[in-house]
Amino acid sequence: MSEPTHTPAMSAQELSVGYVRNGKATVVSSGISASLEPGSVTLLLGANGAGKSTLLRTLSGVQEPLSGAVRVGGKDISTLSGRQMARAVSLVYTDRTGGGGLTVEELIGLGRYPYTGWSGRLSADDKNAVQQAMESVGIIHKRNAAVATLSDGERQKAMIARALAQHTPVMLLDEPTSFLDVATRLNILSLLRRLATERNVAILLSTHDIAASLAVADFLWLLTASGEKKFIHGSCQQLINSGCMDRIFAEKNIVFNPATGDYRQAVSIDL
């Protein structure tokens, strides 16, 4: 009897991402083959322009890959309907969200629309999912507040709660700690670690807040600026020990400091 095969929460096979303009394709990043595991936090690191946001949009189905495939639960996302995709993957952007005239509870309720009928009305189960999401991120005390009145940290918690309400096995976040103060950044990262563990969700987040993010992460996806292999993945400790972290930036004098978990300038500059 053969052993059961392992199916990751999400996988990419020889993925090439970029954009097409006037019929001409421009590759931003290629050769991406890796997977996301349930209950884990993976950091997506790279310099500005390396293709982090483009990769996240491709993994979420917002834009098509130039080549290769993305699978969720073993199924190619190109075969999934919009509703099926929304039940499989949730995406949190870095952009500040105005929220229009919505309350916090109404915004988070949008995460349940992949499960509602044509009317969009929330059932008792849907409302319970919204309630649990608000409790999980600690924003239930703001349920009746207008989204426009929230602080940046509260707004980011609300967006994460909306993604949680979708009940997806995969959550993708694009710079979730941007615009936040130090204390709020640490709280958000700690929240994501806890959600991955408690909900068994596979989380992939892009970030420039490397030192703080490494404290909660299991794996790294690196979009490097130098070397033959532009995409590298592995456990945090493995890639830190291998010296691969020094390949993220093109500047040779910017090196990773394992002691602090951040980057420093290796050569002093005379003023």
Contact of 72 with 242, CB cutoff 8 Å: no
* Partners of 171 in beta bridges: 90, 203
Flag whether the pTM goes above 0.85.
Answer: yes
Contact of 42 with 214, CB cutoff 8 Å: no
Give the pLDDT confidence score for residue 263 in this predicted structure. 87
Give the pLDDT confidence score for residue 98 in this predicted structure. 62
Euclidean distance between the first and the last CA atom of the chain, given in angstroms as a whole number: 70
* CATH superfamily membership of 1-73+170-181+198-271: P-loop containing nucleotide triphosphate hydrolases (3.40.50.300)
Mean pLDDT within 106-111: 94
Give the pLDDT confidence score for residue 267 in this predicted structure. 65
The structure tokens 């005390």 sit at 141
Residue-wise pLDDT for 198-214, tens only, equals 999 999 999 988 999 99
Residue-wise pLDDT for 155-175, tens only, equals 989 999 999 999 999 999 999
Please say if the pLDDT value at position 185 is more than 50.
yes
